[in-house]
Structure 1
């Protein structure tokens, strides 16, 4: 286990601060600030785009849209042939997402936006029909989202959970806040599944990654 020293922190900070973002992403983040919406951090966004570029998913589900920052990362990374299904019930967030997609000149056919509650929509999606699921919503229903995500992905499918550090409460054993407990339980659920290969990636907010290795 690495020691927590100033050199380690400096290296981590260098990695976090080496990410640059274009004007489309910057404007999306500004809209997020105006709406008080949580958005994936720049390092997490860049990592998500790289993962999608490497994995090349054809069909992705995003639970919770934020304001489109993570959606842009997925769509840019997956290439022109991929499609993204976004589930978001907050109409202001949906409006911000649509604006980000327009500014990035992403064709409407590549992004299906469902303006209903995730708990209602997920059960209607087909088993093993998606290459990736990003959980980009609050942790109140996280265990249900993870269970549905495991059903939705096919062989070699990927599950990602943003804000995995839960506002940096996760590393504090004494913290028993509901969202923190839910995150711990979700990580345990995935790690204890012998078909899943998991890792917690140390971006600013934390990004938890699980890959189905059953194939």
Structure 2
């Protein structure tokens, strides 16, 4: 935990204060609405925006919207013809995300879809996505990988948050099951002959994979 705090604190000291819109989104969600601090950290958000800016995906899927902090960063990096579909199981939280995306001026680039992620994933056409970001129920990561992989185009990016054993499992009822699922996901990705992967040192670890 000490190393995580130092990493986050150092990033903030280098990049300086958050933009007012990001600060307002976090204050509204965490202080005014009392939501759990389960969003990606500031540096992870910047990494997502950087990856999207560099990769220029047109069709992006996010599994786990929460209050829209990661979606906001992904949307900022999209090319002019890019679009993000973000999946959220909680309708009330999804509405908060829509509000935040509108406040950040990116709502035209994002559709927040309410419902079970697995149901949506099963309907996707093969090779129909350029990028997938997973940040939802940890015990479901292996299933999300199984369902999302066929929909990811060759050359597409697969990104998973909380990919380290000390990731954020605060919302999980069974920490051991969550850690086991994360381990299964990371090992499956790392050992795949069709994915080239690397960890990025955010607070809870991003695992980025390129489909070859």
Identify the TM-score tier after normalising by the shorter chain.
0.7 to 0.9
Unmatched runs of 5 consecutive residues or more in structure 1: 1-5, 171-175
| Equivalences, count | 200
Matched, 1:44 2:40: no
Contact kept in structure 1, 2:133 and 2:160, CA below 8 Å? yes
Mark the CA change 1:114 to 1:23 in structure 2 (over 3 Å): closer, same or farther. Answer: same
Change (3 A) 1:186 1:177: same
- Whole-angstrom CA distance in 1 between matches of 2:166 and 2:28: 21
Q: RMSD of the TM alignment (CA)?
A: 2.3
1:173 paired residue number: none
CA–CA separation in structure 2 for the residues paired with 1:136 and 1:95:
18
Structure 1 ranges of 4+ moved more than 6 A: 9-12
In 2, Cα distance between the equivalents of 1:112 and 1:62? 10
> Take 1:12 and 1:115, find their aligned partners in 2: how far apart are those partners?
31
- Give the Cα separation in 2 of the matches to 1:24 and 1:52: 20
Structure 2 match to 1:146: 145
Q: CA deviation digits over 1:66-124, x for unaligned, max 9? A: 2111101111011332100111120122111111111112243x212211111211101
Partners of 2:168 and 2:83 lie apart in 1 by 34
Structure 2 match to 1:31: 28
Task: Output the CA distance in 2 between the equivalents of 1:210 and 1:100.
Answer: 28
Cα distance, 1:167 vs. partner? 4.1
Quote the residue 2:97 is aligned against: 97
User: Contact 1:28–1:96 at 8 Å: present in 2 too?
Assistant: no
Q: Deviations over 1:121-169 (max 9, x none)?
A: 1101111111000001120211000112211110111111112225448
